[in-house]
Amino acid sequence: MKITLLILVIGYLTIGCQTLPSGERGYDANLSQVEYPFPVHFLPIDSQQQQLNIAYMYQKPLLQSKGTVLLLHGKNFNAAYWEDTANVLLAQGYAVVIPDQIGFGKSSKPEHYAYSFHTFAEQTMQIVDTLDIDTLTVVGHSMGGMLATRFSLMYPNRVNKLILVNPIGLEDYSYYAKPKDINFFFESEKSKKIENIIAYQRKNYYDGQWNDKYESLTDIHRGWIEGPDWSLMAWNNALTYAPIFNEPVVHELQNLTIDLHLILGTRDRTGPGRNWAFEDNQYELGRYDLLGKALQKKHPNIITLYELEGLGHLPQVEDLDRFTHTFLQALDAD
């Protein structure tokens, strides 16, 4: 019997993690102190001459399943941030699989690793195969959108639909930003304070607004910064910038063999490399109010566009009800 798996890759938040206990400071690299919303399993893998573990959650609905949703996180967050969306999908009758990629969340943090979207995709497929899941619908948000697209290109016979939510990678950042050595990103990550992270998210994600829910999404960052493994975490955070700048997927959209449903909060201005763009660059990165229309015009037979006016990089956090309505539309579309 075939099982349909929907892969939902959304990016930069963390709803399901508990906050730092009173009197305790800091999280270790693998978030062993952090409770996830569903039971966590570990898949041992042999990768790049290292024995590593991929953490993931797998939850089935109470009713008969319509298929399975694989929720993949973006760069600045972990699997637990999918709790609210997972509960929506479970109520709709979908099972959910929610992994932490290597270098993120509760998964292994190697001291040396060549990160790539190809590697992430292969390791994600190992989870899918372990669970004996057949066909997939892939949905990705933020950096997860690049991974979701690469996954769909690598495994076209396992994917029946691709849904991207405010993905990065809708433009090739290497065209506009100066190349940077990994040490540039390491020094930047290592110097971050929780105040910097909150200020960035408040300005860029939520249009200057802030509340307890948004605050909770920064908990893992606060814990890691105050914990014993911050240097290792900063190094892994730095290494994972490489595929964003070195592995563009936007040029390969025409090679997709399945429909792409693109959900965009049009207030989003996320543009990796904007702060070190070439001096003569006149192009404005991250104009999501323009990117979707331009790509749909270029690929009209592939892309269906859904625009959420007034929402930013995290529409699923800013307005879960509005996002869910649109997301379920895309999910049910033929």
Q: Is residue 303 part of a domain?
A: yes
φ/ψ (deg, to 5) at 176:
-120, -20
Residue 244 has a pLDDT of 97
Residue 94 has a pLDDT of 86
Residue 29 has a pLDDT of 97
140 with 244: CB under 8 angstroms? Answer: no
Confidence of residue 131 (pLDDT cuts 50, 70, 90): very high
Q: Give which of 148, 142, 106, 143 is closest to 242, Cα–Cα.
A: 143
Per-residue pLDDT reduced to its tens digit, 163-188 = 999 999 999 999 999 999 999 999 99
How far is it, in rounded angstroms, from Cα 37 to Cα 293?
37
How far is it, in rounded angstroms, from Cα 273 to Cα 163?
25
Q: Is residue 194 part of a domain?
A: no
Confidence of residue 261 (pLDDT cuts 50, 70, 90): very high
| Amino acid type, 231 | S
User: Which one has a higher pLDDT value, 139 or 196?
Assistant: 196
Per-residue pLDDT reduced to its tens digit, 190-244 = 999 999 999 999 998 999 999 999 999 899 999 999 999 999 999 999 999 999 9
Q: Is residue 195 part of a domain?
A: no
Residue 21 has a pLDDT of 47
Neighbours of 251 (CB within 10 A): 8
Average predicted confidence (pLDDT) for the chain? 90
Q: Is the pLDDT of residue 17 over 80?
A: no
Mean pLDDT of 131-152: 91
Mean pLDDT of 277-299: 96
Q: Is residue 321 part of a domain?
A: yes
Q: Give which of 128, 81, 309 is closest to 138, Cα–Cα.
A: 128
Per-residue pLDDT reduced to its tens digit, 290-313 = 999 999 999 999 999 999 999 999
Q: What are the strands of the beta sheet with 94-99, ordered from one edge? A: 40-47, 50-59, 94-99, 67-72, 4-9, 135-142, 159-167, 260-265, 303-308
Mean pLDDT of 258-287: 95
Instruction: Give the percent of the chain with pLDDT over 90.
Output: 77
Tokens found for residue 75: 């760069």
| Amino acid type, 297 | K
Query: b/e for 8-35, b at 16 or more Cβ within 10 A?
Result: bbbbbbbbbbeebeeeeeebbbbbeebe
Q: Is residue 302 part of a domain?
A: yes
Q: Tokens 């995290």, residue?
A: 314
Residues 184, 236, 215, 79, CA torsion sign:
positive
How far is it, in rounded angstroms, from Cα 333 to Cα 220?
35
78 with 14: CB under 8 angstroms? Answer: yes
Q: Is residue 252 part of a domain?
A: yes
Q: Is the pLDDT of residue 316 over 80?
A: yes
Q: Is residue 160 part of a domain?
A: yes
Confidence of residue 159 (pLDDT cuts 50, 70, 90): confident
The CATH number for 59's domain is 3.40.50.1820
| Count of domains forming the chain | 1
Q: Is the pLDDT of residue 9 over 80?
A: no
- Highest mean pLDDT among 115-124, 139-148, 208-217 belongs to 115-124
Residue 24 has a pLDDT of 55
Q: Is the pLDDT of residue 83 over 80?
A: yes
Q: Is residue 180 part of a domain?
A: no
How far is it, in rounded angstroms, from Cα 76 to Cα 113?
18
How far is it, in rounded angstroms, from Cα 267 to Cα 20?
32
